[in-house]
Structure 1
Amino acid sequence: MRIYKVLFKIFIGFILAFVLIALINFIPTIRLANSTMSVFVGDWVNVYYETEKEAARDAFELAEERARELAELLGLTEKENIRIYIYDKQRTMQTKKYGYIVPFLGLDWHIGDNISTDVILTSPANPGKAHDYNSVKNAVLHEIVHAYNHVLNEDMTYWVDNGLAGYLSGQNPGDIKRYGTIPTLEQTRIKGLTAPIKFADFNGYQYSYSYIEYLDNTYSWDSIKAFAQAGDYEAAFGASEEDIYNGWLRYITD
């Protein structure tokens, strides 16, 4: 019996250590703002920034100009107050989502995200290795759509959420055939903590854009709005999820 008690104590020790490490890891996520941030205040968005004022101003002006339009396209009936936090360094932004583990994740492409209706963004002035000034600035629209989608339908799939964000923010991937293997139906249902990494690995941002493009060219935008709100393929399009997927396959391969 003694050996079992020792093993049990060791097991509990490992569990407690794991929980402690996890708690420490996520300390940076507790507060999105810091005491040195300044703010641009608008009617639709407030942009908090560190030292890169002009880059933050560019992102603010674009967001303020387009936020109402994006809300209307998604069918939102009430104005949402969107707070956008812009960080001088990409790694700082990433730790606000994933914590101190960020250096081990290899997220060079990750320059923005949303946390509920709050948006976090790398400063366009320091875009990192995978982006440039304009692509980061325009990403603010992508993240605003994510924030609106959170209000619209918390159960929206990762695939549809990113498709709408990419499509409405104008992140056209160009010739879709150059992106290689097409995601399976099962891959379009991706979810969970590892979804962002797996999604990027199968070119989900590019393919989900083309998915919404297909819906827009085949059905009405009112149908897409209804689908975004309820997630019901049959009610919105009169077709099953699998039928829509197969129609999209034909659309991108013809």
Structure 2
Amino acid sequence: MDNILQVENLRKVYGNLEALKGVSFEVKKGEIFALIGPNGAGKTTTLRIVATLLTPSDGKVTFMGKDLRKNPDFVRENISYLPEEAGAYKNMKGIDYLKFMATFYANNQMELEEFLNRAKEISGLEDRLKDKVGTYSKGMTRKLLLARALMTKPTLAILDEPTSGLDVINALEIREIIRAYVKEGTSVLLSSHNMLEIEFLSDRVALIDKGKILEIGRPEELKEKHNVKNLEEVFRRVVQ
């Protein structure tokens, strides 16, 4: 399986704070790769660098064989990024928001319609797409945003806490959507504090703390290595 993303010795310094201290990992084609760690561990900084929103202090990111620093536009054309605190325009109807976002990626009207139809299917919001986003529940808004992130069938989707704050049913539906799109060829770089979600979704997991990767492996491998029953216990042992 070829690597779609290669992160090598990534460092990020903010003044006297070294947020990333040589982070290295790869994401394979058709894989869901998760970064987990406590608050302030460096997860979101890493995701933002890969999404070209932050510039690394040192290290290298290679996406589809191209250097991220030298080819930022190519990277942006082939990835999507869903931040934890993402929002949609509350005064727009759901369908109008999706149309507006699709115009940034579509090269022609046919492609725009293709993106829009896919977004409708992903969101599952049906007639509620005719209503203003401000009337949506948190779960509905998150489905709309996930539809925006996946409608172009990106090569890599970067998802930061995709089910944060959602109830069990909405969280399960979003996880199923993510899994379905991976089967269609999209790779995923995921961050979440929900260890059950990580176990359900991820092919491989990296545990990060204080800007360093401490462990990488399949969930089952990590549980077996540490002789525990779930990733929460792996997390606690490794971080402590």
TM-score where L is the length of structure 1:
0.26
Kindly indicate which of the two structures has a greater share of residues assigned to helix.
1
- Structure scoring higher RCO (CA < 8 A, sep ≥ 6) equals 2
Larger radius of gyration: 1
Kindly indicate which of the two structures has a greater share of residues assigned to strand.
2
